Structure 1
Amino acid sequence: MIEVSGLTRTYGGFTAVDDVSFSCAPGRVTGFLGPNGAGKTTTMRIMVGLTPPSSGRVTIGGHLYRDIPNPGRHVGVLLDAGAQHAGRSGREILTIGARTMGLPDSRVDEMLAMVSLSDEEAGRRLRNYSLGMKQRLGIAHALLGDPEVLILDEPANGLDPAGIRWMRDLLKGYAHRGGTVLLSSHLLNEVELVADELILIGRGKIVAQGDKKSLGALDAQVSSLVTALDPAALVRGLEAEGYRVAPEGEGFRVNASTADVGRAALEHLIVLTDLRDGAAGLEDLFLELTADTQREVAPGAPAAPAAPAAPEGAHR
């Protein structure tokens, strides 16, 4: 169990995390989503003691991270897959981790096999790893101590489609066995497939949280997207039936189900060229809920000043 209570982190006059509270339960995968600079990584760094909070606290299994004895045996962390000594081999990195945690060297071979790094790849220096290989090694390191909790920041970054599916199955299986997973990712479709709970953050504040069903209820109004050979006739016919019609893309959004739109078109002898459910998926919901937190720079305008950089961290 991860409990985040009133967490705030400021850098001078800039607030990176603003009174954030949420929990992650055992047996569940929690997706942590937000635009770049929203505060996800800062929140995760605070969780594992790499960045001190200005106020609030995070407990894992009822303890502050710093108070957990041999924390790698209880919390697996992947924040930056490249935050290891570039001159060490993958096997050396895992061996050092295993010995630090008091694990047998045989655990290293188990993890290398699990993440599909061959003996030849395990012997390469980290500087010669591709991004995907670094991610696999980082995942192996996070799972080395067989922890009850996983905290992962963009773990699928750099993985190929087969690797992403492998990651999805891995996390589902881990949660099914009672593990707690907090997963940050910009791959919204992948998060939608694997996450049981979703937390959306923008400019340091939580803008929505809950399971996919409850978040979907925030945009629960039935709607359809429709195009027709005669757009003007389509609008007249739908409005005659009492529906609201608004332009969207090459067609219209209607506040009615696809069945009702189809019946209205038949009633008014309108030929439809496209008709689909207009309900928002996770990507649409995410963009809608974080719309006022998206950072855009107009052409020719100076970029907004960057937030003060947090100290470099490493995954444990």
Structure 2
Amino acid sequence: MINVDSLTRSYGGYTAVDHVSFTAQPGRVTGFLGPNGAGKSTTMRIMTGLTEPSSGTATILGRRFADLPNPGREVGVLLDASAQHAGRTGREVLRINARLMGLPGSRVDDLLAAVGLTEEEAGRRVRNYSLGMRQRLGIAAALLGDPEVLILDEPANGLDPAGIRWMRDLLRGFADQGGTVLLSSHLLNEIEVVADDIVVIGHGRIVASGTKSDLLASGETLVRADDLHQLRAALATAGLTTTDADGALLVTGDIAHVGRAAFSAGIAVTELRAADGARLEEMFLELTATTAREGTAA
């Protein structure tokens, strides 16, 4: 579990993170979203002990990152795939990490295979890696210690469509086995597919948080019947507002209320369900419309 409580970080007169609070739960993928300059990277750096907070706390598995006895065995971190020793081979990078964590060398070969780096690629110097290969190596390093928690910033950056699908399956599998995943990404469609919970930050403050289904729910009901005119009249009598929606009616109201109104009027409905919610991109743009600072570092 990750628990962030009233976290604040100021630089002189500028507050990068302003009383941020949220929780990432075990068994779930939490998407951490915000425009450039919103405070995502600063928050994640504080979580992982790279930046000290001005006030507030960020704990992982009940402790500050700096207090974990062997952090790599409990928390897998990928904040910058390019921050790897360019002169070492991929295998050497992982072997050094394994040695520092007290892991057997066999773990390195297991992780290279798990992230899809071939023998030839593992023996190549990191300076000759593509961005996608660096991402795979960074993910291998994050998973090396068999952690309970993953904190990943833009892990799909540079991956091709097959690689993005692989990443999605990997994170989903990790969470389904009880792990905690905090995932920051600009690929909103991927967040929408894989995340269970979403936290949105803007200008250093949390502007929305909750389950994906709750945040994206439209609060409307779609209903269809053979006689739409009669159905529309019955719903209006019940005080419900309707709009036409491709041979059906979109109703401002919950399913139970709509169903009871149709039943009371003796109308057999042929379809009754919650209306499709907003897409994550639409919600994100609406929530961050006044906080986006394009081109500013996060």
Counterparts of residues 1-316 of structure 1 (less than 5 Å): 1-217=1-217, 219-220=218-219, 255-260=243-248, 279-295=277-293
Identity %: 69
> 1:207 and 1:185 mapped to 2: Cα distance?
17
Q: Evaluate the alpha carbon distance shift between residue 69 and residue 167 of structure 1 in structure 2; reply closer, same or farther with a 3 A threshold.
A: same
Shift of residue 23 of structure 1? 0.5
Aligned counterpart, 1:234: none
Q: Could you tell me the TM-score, scaled by structure 2's length?
A: 0.82
> 1:55 and 1:12 mapped to 2: Cα distance?
14
Q: Secondary structure at the match of 2:69?
A: coil
8 Å contact 1:222–1:256 — kept in the other structure?
A: no
Shift of residue 222 of structure 1? 6.6
Q: Which residues of structure 2 form unaligned runs of 5+?
A: 223-235, 237-241, 251-274
Q: Evaluate the alpha carbon distance shift between residue 73 and residue 279 of structure 1 in structure 2; reply closer, same or farther with a 3 A threshold.
A: closer
8 Å contact 1:221–1:255 — kept in the other structure?
A: no
Opposite residue 52 of structure 1, the aligned amino acid is E
8 Å contact 2:243–2:249 — kept in the other structure?
A: no
Shift of residue 125 of structure 1? 1.0
Opposite residue 79 of structure 1, the aligned amino acid is L
Q: Evaluate the alpha carbon distance shift between residue 116 and residue 159 of structure 1 in structure 2; reply closer, same or farther with a 3 A threshold.
A: same
Opposite residue 129 of structure 1, the aligned amino acid is Y
Q: Secondary structure at the match of 1:294?
A: coil
Q: Secondary structure at the match of 1:208?
A: strand
> 2:289 and 2:101 mapped to 1: Cα distance?
44
Shift of residue 85 of structure 1? 1.3
Q: Evaluate the alpha carbon distance shift between residue 119 and residue 7 of structure 1 in structure 2; reply closer, same or farther with a 3 A threshold.
A: same
> What do the CA deviations read for 1:152-194 (whole angstroms, capped 9, x no partner)?
0000000000000000000010001100000000000100110
8 Å contact 2:132–2:160 — kept in the other structure?
A: yes
The total of aligned residue pairs comes to: 258
8 Å contact 2:37–2:292 — kept in the other structure?
A: no
8 Å contact 1:98–1:104 — kept in the other structure?
A: yes
Q: Evaluate the alpha carbon distance shift between residue 15 and residue 94 of structure 1 in structure 2; reply closer, same or farther with a 3 A threshold.
A: same
Q: Evaluate the alpha carbon distance shift between residue 279 and residue 146 of structure 1 in structure 2; reply closer, same or farther with a 3 A threshold.
A: closer
Q: Which residues of structure 1 form unaligned runs of 5+?
A: 224-241, 243-253, 263-276, 297-302, 310-316
Shift of residue 295 of structure 1? 2.5
> 1:159 and 1:211 mapped to 2: Cα distance?
27
Shift of residue 220 of structure 1? 3.1
> 1:279 and 1:92 mapped to 2: Cα distance?
47
8 Å contact 2:7–2:17 — kept in the other structure?
A: yes
